Amino acid sequence: MRCGKLSNQGVIPGSKSELQRVLAERLGVSISEVLDDVNLQDLGLDSIGVMGIVSGWQRHGLRTEIAEFTAVPTLNDWWELISR
């Protein structure tokens, strides 16, 4: 996995475009590569990466479990989990 440094590590994204930016930054890819239905695993996101991202959000109040994020592979899926 290509791992970039997150500028606002742990801050829960407030919009889908912010989530897209966070994921692109974490994966070291262009924002244009993180499309709504692209499988994040195909971009290099593995379970350790998911844990790193989601555990930061949990420290800031997110109540969704890490396993829910690992079970769904796309930006749309992740935004649905965050925004519910």
| DSSP alpha helix (H) spans, the chain | 16-27, 47-59, 66-70, 75-83
pLDDT tens, 29-51? 999 999 999 999 999 999 999 99
pLDDT tens, 11-23? 999 999 999 999 9
- Name all domains of the chain by residue range, CATH numbers in brackets: 16-83 (1.10.1200.10)
